[in-house]
Amino acid sequence: MRASANPLTFLRAFWSPLRGLRLLWDHKRLWPLAAAPFLLNLILFGLAFWLSYAYLGDWVRGLLPGGEGWWWAALLYVALVLLVLALLGAQIYLFAVVGRVVAEPFLEILTRRTEALAQGMPAGAPWSDAGLLRDMLRVLRQSLKRLVIYLGVMLPLLLVNLVPGVGAILYAVLAWLFTAYFLALEFMDYPLDRRGLSLQQKSRYVRGMGLGWLGFGSAVLVIGLVPVVNFALLPLAAMGGTLLYLERPLSAA
């Protein structure tokens, strides 16, 4: 799987959730399947907002070193903004994993039907939901494995903040990249798992997307950061990842 450094790869992947929205709009019988994850996001992001408002600000300020002078104040402001975005990104990933586990039945069927529609299945054709329970259980186990790996890297990564001056900025950049990768891996999991790939094979496929994983993962992060829009994160990310896979199936990877 050769990685592509073409910026168009990034942009195409970045807009894949929007293509999912267009498919959802054109096929209104998918709406009930998207409604349950939407309502779940409403609850989860409401909780995330409360936690961020109550605790995140003071904790972030405690991570940043003090200093004097206008240049230090400017650096502190940039570091604060980037650090908040990185920590919110990590929060988005954690809530995405929780939300996916709870909404798994709806998202699994939604992505199966997204894949069928994108490949031209006739409107009246029956949906293939065979083996749904087996697939769901396997997906849940792998989601937990990914979560353990993610936390195993992100928690020690907080030590980068101890680097004088640029530590907070360096942490923010690394945290954003790492979270974008894991979000891409999380929401491209549906079509990849249906092809019987192991977690290692899925990781290899996502890395082989080149800038595609960064574009898609960043799009999911942006959706999660935008108020109101973030309520639709789960269905749009799951559908976007499915459509993105169909542009680069295993046979072409």
Taking the C-alpha atoms of residue 253 and residue 251, their distance in angstroms, rounded to an integer, is 6
Nearest to 41 by CA among 205, 232, 187: 232
Burial of 211 (0-12, 13-18, 19+ CB in 10 A): buried
Residue 188: phi, psi to the nearest 5?
-95, 0
> Digits of tens for pLDDT over the chain (253 positions)?
444 667 889 999 999 999 999 999 998 888 888 888 887 777 766 666 665 555 555 555 555 555 555 555 565 666 666 666 676 777 778 778 777 877 888 888 899 899 999 988 754 444 455 566 776 677 778 888 888 899 898 888 888 877 776 777 788 889 899 999 999 999 999 899 888 898 899 999 999 999 999 999 999 999 988 877 888 889 999 999 999 999 998 876 6
pTM of the model: 0.80
